[in-house]
Amino acid sequence: MRSFWGRLPILLLFSLSLVGCARPAAWQQSYVLRAPASMGGSARPPGKPAGVLRLAPVLAPNWLMSTDYVYRLDYADPEALLPYPKVRWAATPGQMLSNLLLQCLREQEAWQAVLSADQSGRPDLLLQLNLQRFQLDYSTPDAGQAEIQATATLVQNGSFRVLAQQEFQSRVPLRQMGPAGGAAAMSTAAQELTGRVAQWAAQKSRVPVS
């Protein structure tokens, strides 16, 4: 029978193989939603600023709660959402949209203050974004679009009375196929959607509550 010391090289080799299996996955390219130099300053509505607004955390279905970069082949299997291998978003879609919308609301200067979800303060209104779609849709191997769909809800703080609710959708054609072209189109779609949500929230905040 071989001694422990005789089996040591084999044990070490086995241990090293386990360490190799436990290593993190291969490096992945990450993409972010890019914001323009200015998002909302020119959209300031007339009159004095509204009250204090808090942007609540973006709600999203489970499949949008990860950093997976997903796409759909409408021409092959329109029901299947597929993740790009070795490609991901730098944050979840909800987190990236929240950052863009927060920047847009603050640059808009339509509010006395705009608070993020984790900032202290007593807001007058709450703005909630419910994300339904955030994906690339390929109609053919050489054509596609970035699509974002979300529902915005403006709520009165304290009473939690819903002042307004509206669905927003933004579609931007891909100029380049693949993850890089998709990230560029998705950034444009996100900028358009958050800009429209910010203007809508400012307008609805000035409607008298009956």
The number of beta carbons lying within 10 Å of the beta carbon of residue 17 is: 10
Q: Give the dihedral of Cα atoms 171, 81, 67, 183; nearest 10 deg.
A: -30
Whole-angstrom Cα distance, residue 121 to residue 62?
30
At 33-58, the pLDDT tens digits run 988 766 544 445 555 677 999 999 99
Q: Over 50: is that where the pLDDT of 23 sits?
A: no
Half-sphere exposure of residue 35, counting CA atoms within 13 Å on the CB side?
Answer: 17
Confidence of residue 159 (pLDDT cuts 50, 70, 90): confident
- Domain 4-205: state its class: alpha beta
Q: What is the 3-state secondary structure (H, E, C) of 197-208?
A: HHHHHHHHHCCC
| pTM reported for the whole predicted model | 0.81
Helices (H), 23-164: 93-108
Whole-angstrom Cα distance, residue 80 to residue 35?
29
Whole-angstrom Cα distance, residue 116 to residue 199?
18
Burial class (CB in 10 A: 0-12, 13-18, 19+), 26: exposed
Domain ranges of the chain: 4-205
At 70-88, the pLDDT tens digits run 999 999 998 899 999 999 9
